[in-house]
Structure 1
């Protein structure tokens, strides 16, 4: 039986943040090139939808997933 994926909050200091930047910040990608490769391979979803734009603007509450890892954009308070 598969374990449900847990979503961890990743605080950002200001909105919006680009998808490529967030992938690196959330440790879902090793670097910008890796983020680009993941996006190009259609391995990244935002709020459950495949996202192919590295420059996609993310806002507070958006959930980004790569494989079994999920991270939620969370404004630092």
Structure 2
């Protein structure tokens, strides 16, 4: 089951998402992380840190876990 990650905006970049989900500690680590791990967004591999994610998107990272982008109720 995918872990829900709440966002308060309409969209978020993959780099921001990785920080929000506590997968990486800083923006500088995002580029290195994306070189090391295969990231799938809605079953399509994508390594672009600027990729826009919207509520409903499923992010799967091999060896790390599965996450679903959800809209915050705030």
C-alpha separation in 2, matches of 1:14 and 1:7: 20
> Is structure 2 residue 25 aligned with structure 1 residue 37?
no
- The answer for unaligned runs of 5 or more in structure 2 is none
- What number of residue pairs does the alignment pair up? 72
TM-score scaled by structure 1?
0.80
Equivalence for 1:19:
14
What TM-score does the superposition give when structure 2 sets the normalisation length? 0.83
Q: Summarize the Cα distance change of 1:71–1:15 in structure 2 as closer, same or farther, 3 Å threshold.
A: same
Q: What SS is found at the alignment partner of 2:15?
A: helix
Contiguous gaps of at least 5 residues in structure 1: 1-5
| Superposed structure 1 runs of 4+ greater than 6 Å apart | none
Cα-Cα RMSD? 1.5
Q: Please state how far the C-alpha of 1:34 moved relative to its aligned partner.
A: 2.1
